[in-house]
Amino acid sequence: EAGVTQFPSHSVIEKGQTVTLRCDPISGHDNLYWYRRVMGKEIKFLLHFVKESKQDESGMPNNRFLAERTGGTYSTLKVQPAELEDSGVYFCASSQDGVVAETLETQYFGPGTRLLVL
Amino acid sequence: AQKVTQAQTEISVVEKEDVTLDCVYETRDTTYYLFWYKQPPSGELVFLIRRNSFDEQNEISGRYSWNFQKSTSSFNFTITASQVVDSAVYFCALSGPSPYKLSFGAGTTVTVRA
């Protein structure tokens, strides 16, 4: 079974440009999460999708960030316009939503996208 | 609010030594979940273990063991007979009941020298 995949693995852009990150969750996982780790800081929650609906977007830092999950499959996270403080590693995770307790809500992470804004 | 504290920033050991990583958490939820993730140099976060708040049994998986103590709000992780491949950043994380977003500790960097 394929794990969570993220694209691109690295992105270097200039301040003011737009960047779109993509996450493909594990097949069959209804829950999809975005997290990020900025330099020297802890990994922080950004938002949570259940299928195509935003369940919790309390961690989104500001309106320059837009996340979508069309059709409840892959998700994109767009940063427009990017600022220097947006640099960091963006992680995506997915989890099942079912009745099997041992697998319920364990989040499996992708390799992350390393974003550098110059 | 939920908080996870990993007081150890870096730990360096020689191969075959045991290493224990501390994790202390704070939560007001009566039901919660604790996790450990490993981040090797390649960068991905690898799931190691999940513990439910109502299950205080300690667990052993090969050279890894976990000690969950609700009385001290701790969920410590021990690597026995460490190996160079154990070198990584280890994160402790906590989630409450739905919506299950994770709160992470700052991570502990473990370096195992040959």
Kindly write down the DSSP assignment for every residue of B18-41, as one continuous string: -EEE--EEE-S-SS-EEEEEEE-T
- Of the residues B5, B100, B104, the best mutation for testing chain A's interface (the one with the most A CB atoms within 10 Å of its CB) is B100
Cross-chain residue pair B47–A108, CB shorter than 8 Å: yes
Cβ atoms of residues A91 and A77 within 8 Å = no
The DSSP symbol for A34 reads E
- Condensed to tens digits (0 to 9), the pLDDT of residues A78-118 reads 999 999 999 999 999 999 875 555 556 789 999 999 999 99
- Of the residues A53, A90, A109, the best mutation for testing chain B's interface (the one with the most B CB atoms within 10 Å of its CB) is A109
Chain B residue with the nearest C-alpha to that of A35: B102
Task: Quote the CA–CA distance of B33 and B54 in Å, as a whole number.
Answer: 9
Assign A88 to helix, strand or coil. Answer: strand
- Condensed to tens digits (0 to 9), the pLDDT of residues B1-43 reads 799 999 999 999 999 999 999 999 999 988 899 999 999 998 8
Give B-chain residues touching A105 at CB under 8 angstroms.
33, 95, 100
Assign B84 to helix, strand or coil. Answer: helix
A94 at the B interface (CB within 8 A)?
no
Angle at B98 between CA B93 and CA B99, to 5 degrees: 75
Backbone angles phi, psi at B63, to 5 degrees: -90, -5
Alpha-carbon gap: A103 to the closest alpha carbon of chain B (Å): 9
Task: Quote the CA–CA distance of B57 and B41 in Å, as a whole number.
Answer: 31
β pairing state of A75-79 and B24-26: unpaired
- Condensed to tens digits (0 to 9), the pLDDT of residues B48-102 reads 998 988 888 888 889 999 999 999 999 999 999 999 999 999 999 999 877 689 9
Q: Which of residues 55-74 of A touch B (CB under 8 A)?
A: 55-56, 59
